[in-house]
Every structure is written in structure tokens, then in C-alpha cells.
Amino acid sequence: HIEKLSAELIRGIIDIIPESIFHLRSASKTLRDRVDTYVSQVQSSRLIDRLAINGAHKDGHWPLETGLLYISAHIHLHKADLFELRLKHFSTKLDADVANKISRKEDDNERIYSMVLNVKDEEMIICLRSSIGAL
């Protein structure tokens, strides 16, 4: 019975096999709670492979004039589900409307998340920062 494993072992499984989170969550309420606890904690491991932030608007305005940042995060496919669960967790916690502001594109072995973010939208910035893990 996997749900009898310690919380530390469950965290170890998620660290090694992050794509297992949805299977673990669906196995039992105990595992769902342990995965959700893991997701809500500050991550010491890095989820993203590359983060690009561009402040210039298409017509040449800078962020202070437009207030917009163009962000893209490149995440290996085996970590993408964990990133999305963290994004969902922190967006719900902060009441940030992430789902409607982010686009997803899948490449060979990575998922690319792109969004336009207003520099004044502190909740979205906190949500994104909390979701990506350590840089």
C-alpha cells in the first residue's frame, strides 16, 4: 500500500518522477493530500529549463510606458504537470486568473508557457514566482 509510505518517501517519488503527480493524486485521499502539501511548499528544485522576460512592447514602448512584460517559460515535459498543478494551486490561493492569461505550446521534449503580464499585477507575479520553483 503506497499510501502507507512516509511523506518524505512520497516527496522523493515526486522529485524523481514529477509526472507521477496526477496518478498519485487519483490513488487515494491520503496521497492527494500529500501531493497537495508538496505542491504548496516552496520548491528547492528548479522546474523550468529557461525563462525569458521581454519588456519591450511590439511598437517599441518600454514596460514603464506600457506596463507589460512578455514572459515565456520552457519546461521539460516530465516536469510540466507538476508546474501546472503548482500554477493551479497558487492561482487559486491568490485568486489570480492564470488559466486565461497563459498559452501553452508543446515542442519536442518541452512545453512552452507564454503570457503577457502587467507589472502592476502583483498576484500574478507572486503566483508565477511561486510556481516555477528555484531558479
% of the chain residues with pLDDT over 90: 21
- pLDDT one-digit tens code per residue, 102-115: 889 998 899 999 99
pLDDT number for residue 64: 58
User: What are the residue boundaries of the structural domains of the chain, listed by start?
Assistant: 2-40, 50-132
Residue 101 has pLDDT above 60, yes or no: yes
Distances from the Cα of 119 to the Cα of 18, 38, 63, 70, angstroms: 31, 29, 8, 10
Residue 117 has pLDDT above 90, yes or no: no
pLDDT number for residue 59: 60
When pLDDT is cut at 50, 70 and 90, the band that residue 134 belongs to is low
* Nine-digit cell string for 15: 522529485
Closest CA to 89 of 21, 35, 36: 36
- Identity of the amino acid at 11: R
pLDDT number for residue 74: 94
The 3-state DSSP class for residue 50 equals strand
**In 10 A of CB 49, how many CB atoms?**
13
CATH entry 1.10.20 includes domain 50-132 = no
- pLDDT one-digit tens code per residue, 49-95: 898 888 755 565 555 566 788 889 999 999 999 888 888 888 877 66
The length of the chain is 135
